[in-house]
Amino acid sequence: MTLADGAALVDVAFAACTVLARAGETAVLCGGSAAAYYVPDLYQSLDIDFVVEVGAAPHVVDRALATLGYARVTEGYYRHATLRYALAFPIGPLAIGREFVTSWRTDRRADLLLHVYTPTDVVRDRFLHYWAWGDRTALDVALAVARTHAAEVDLDAFAAWTRRELAADASYDPSRIGRFLSSLQ
């Protein structure tokens, strides 16, 4: 498989996920790159984050990504000679806060596939960056995904998750939840 010069983040993500799947590995697009997938006009990322479902052997990932022209430059990071996107593989398990993510969306383009956080999980992930660290950009992205994909975002599941996170860590500011939800109205 060949990636065109100037390939977009989404194109690289589909290609990487596909070659990894063909090598027997399930990699899920997460973090800011998953947000960029859902709202590309509002948010961009220069690294494409995947968590491999069951810790893949590095040589399997190396060989699969080499077919796209990517080579490992440091632990967990891969670079391409002409593309600006780095591929990163944060250590799993796939989780948002204290909650494991056990299901995801799989989108297809012809013979390519992409496993990616659901819109609800992107909202939870980006909101957590705001909630825990005050990242206003993450808040804006969470709101953008929630608004753009309103029919696919489960706000009841989001609210239940925030209650579980608050029960586990009282240092979170509960007023930020209300502000977030009221911003969606």
Q: What is the pLDDT of residues 109-149, one digit of tens each?
A: 999 999 999 999 999 999 999 999 999 999 999 999 999 99
Tokens of 139: 């808040």
Q: What is the pLDDT of residues 101-111, one digit of tens each?
A: 999 999 999 99
Q: What is the pLDDT of residues 162-171, one digit of tens each?
A: 999 999 998 8
Per-residue confidence (pLDDT) for residue 56, from 0 to 100: 65
- Burial profile 82-98: b = 16 or more Cβ within 10 angstroms, e = fewer: ebebbbbbeebebebbe
Phi, psi angles (nearest 5°) of residue 40: -65, -25
Find where tokens 């990071």 sit: 77
pLDDT band (50, 70, 90) for residue 54: low
Q: What is the pLDDT of residues 144-161, one digit of tens each?
A: 999 999 999 999 999 999
Phi, psi angles (nearest 5°) of residue 107: -105, 155
**What domains lie within the chain, and their CATH numbers?**
9-116 (3.30.460), 119-183 (no CATH)
Tokens of 66: 């080499």
Phi, psi angles (nearest 5°) of residue 108: -130, 145
